[in-house]
Amino acid sequence: MRHRSFLAWTAVILIQTAALQAHAAPGQGQTPGVPQSTAPGSAGTLAAPGSAAAESAGSSVPGSSPIDRGKYLVTAGNCISCHTRPGGTPFTGGRPFVTPFGTIFSTNITPDNATGIGQWKAADLRRAMHEGQAPDGRRFFPAFPYTSFTKVTDADVDDIYAYLRSLKPARYTPPQNSLLLRQRWGMTMWNAMFFVPARFTPDASKSAEWNRGAYLVDGLGHCGACHTPRNAFMAEVSSRAYSGGSGIMDEVAKDELRPWSGVNLTSAKEGLAAWSVADLTKYLKTGFCARAGTFGPMNEVIVNSLKQMTPEDIKAMAVYIKSLPAFDSDTAAVSAEQAKPGESIYKDRCEKCHLSSGRGGMFTGPPLSASAVVQSDDPASLINIILYGPSVPKEVTLGAWETMKGYRDILNDEDTAAVANYLRGSWGNRGRPVSPSEVARQRVPSK
List, in order, residues 6 or more apart from 140 with CB less than 8 Å away.
Answer: 26, 27, 128, 132, 133, 134, 146, 184, 187
> 67: burial class by Cβ within 10 Å (0-12, 13-18, 19+)?
middle
Q: Using CB atoms within 10 A of its CB, is residue 172 exposed (0-12), middle (13-18) or buried (19+)? A: middle
Residue 164 DSSP SS3 = helix
Three-class secondary structure assignment of 124-161: HHHHHHHHCECCCCCECCCCCCHHHHCCCCHHHHHHHH
Residue among 49, 252, 243 at smallest CA distance from 149: 49
Q: Which fold does the domain 336-443 belong to in CATH?
A: Cytochrome Bc1 Complex; Chain D, domain 2 (1.10.760)
Q: What is the pLDDT along the chain (447 residues), one digit of tens a residue?
A: 334 333 333 444 444 444 333 333 333 333 333 333 333 344 444 444 444 555 555 656 777 899 999 999 999 999 999 999 999 999 999 998 877 677 889 999 999 999 999 999 999 999 999 999 999 999 998 888 999 999 999 999 999 999 999 999 999 999 999 887 888 888 999 999 999 999 999 999 999 999 999 999 999 999 999 999 999 888 999 999 999 999 999 999 888 999 999 999 999 999 999 999 999 999 999 999 999 999 999 999 999 999 999 999 999 999 999 999 999 998 999 999 999 999 999 999 999 999 999 999 888 899 999 999 999 999 999 999 999 999 888 888 766 677 899 999 999 999 999 999 999 999 999 999 999 999 999 999 876
- Dist CA 83 CA 120 (whole Å): 17
Say which amino acid occupies 264.
N
Spatial CA neighbour of 152 closest among 208, 201, 117: 201
Contact status, residue 197 vs residue 140, Cβ threshold 8 Å: no
pTM of the predicted structure, to 2 decimals? 0.87
Residues 332-369 pLDDT 10s = 999 999 999 999 999 999 999 999 999 998 888 999 99
Q: How far apart are CA 368 and CA 429, in angstroms?
A: 9
List all residues 6 or more positions away from 204 whose beta carbon is below 8 Å from its beta carbon.
none
Strand, coil or helix: 332: coil
Per the CB < 8 A criterion, the answer to whether 45 and 38 are in contact is yes
Q: What are the C-alpha distances in Å from 268 to residues 118, 209, 238?
A: 46, 22, 17
Radius of gyration of the CA atoms of the chain, in A: 21
Q: Where are the domains of the chain?
A: 1-183, 336-443
Our measurement of the distance from residue 69's CA atom to the centroid of its chain's CA atoms, rounded to an integer in Å, reads 23
**136-163 pLDDT, tens per residue?**
999 998 888 999 999 999 999 999 999 9
pLDDT at 56: 57
